[in-house]
Amino acid sequence: METVFGRPRTLTSASTHYCPGCGHGIIHRLVAEVIDELGIREKTVAVAPVGCAVLLYNYFDLDAYEAAHGRAPAIATGCKRVHPELVVFTYQGDGDLAAIGTAEIVHAAARGERITTIFVNNAIYGMTGGQMAPTTLIGQKTTTTTNGRMPEKAGYPIRVCEMLATLEGAAYISRVSVSNSKNIIQAKKAIKKAFETQIKTLGFSLVEVLSQCPTNWHMTPVESTKWVDEKMAAYFPLGEFKGPKET
């Protein structure tokens, strides 16, 4: 009998700890499929964040570091400078990347560091139980903005892709979502391009993935995918912000 759908080689057999309807499981699989397709598992290094994905090394069958909160791009830089032949990626959430780790991600991009970042934006702090994130939408209710985020008090959500795309060192910057099958296929294409950008040593690459957090949004999985499409994608438009100049 022919196997038409199986676990990617790059994923372990462990069951994930992610909540039902969470986007992380889909995004893990997409990254693993890309690593398999590029045939780079034995030379790929993951840098885990602090946040819901802190235990991603339990699920990826790769050499891995576990970073401090926000510091994954600096660790990836240290590793990549020692082993330029390896493929190094960070996997970071919105609190990790766009709040506590803003300096590290901006400067990794500015240096054109040959690393890839998978940036999972679900507009909330998941692991700590639903506090406001730097990407929380205006009006969005969280445990620290119980009446909804008010810009006069809590400022505005950060559009990371648009910001990083202004930097010369950033070679590939793209925003995708995993809210439906079509978007998932697009997301995988973007992730593949990002890894290829690193392999071709063109510069820094980042894919922002809009992802759902039904638990902390207090929605059903179906409602949450709709919220990604209608609310998040309206403020964080999908698309490619910067692509490598093909030669």
Determine which residue in the list 67, 167, 202, 207 makes contact with another protein, applying CB under 8 A. 67
List the one residue from 7, 9, 78, 223 that touches another protein (CB under 8 A).
78
Write phi, then psi, for 206 (nearest 5 degrees): -145, 135
CA 227/CA 229 separation, integer angstroms: 5
Q: How many CB atoms lie within 10 A of CB 229?
A: 16
Q: Out of 27, 31, 34, 54, which residue is the one contacting another protein (CB under 8 A)?
A: 54
- The CA distance from 180 to 175, in Å, is 15
Contact window for another protein (CB under 8 A) among 104-112, 116-124, 159-167, 234-242: 104-112
Among 11, 34, 35, 75, binds another protein (CB under 8 A): 75
CA 213-217-222 angle, 5° bins: 65
Q: How many residues bind another protein (CB under 8 A)?
A: 34
The nearer residue to another protein, 42 or 152, going by C-beta atoms, is 42
Q: How far apart are CA 113 and CA 204, in angstroms?
A: 5
Nearer to another protein, 81 or 218 (CB): 81
Piece of the chain touching another protein by CB under 8 A; list 70-78, 124-132, 138-146, 225-233? 70-78
Residue 124 binds another protein (CB under 8 A): no
**CA 11 to chain CA mean position, Å:** 17
Calpha distance 96→164 (Å, rounded): 16
- The residue ranges that bind another protein (CB under 8 A) are 41-45, 47-48, 54-55, 57, 61-68, 71, 74-83, 86, 103-104, 106-107
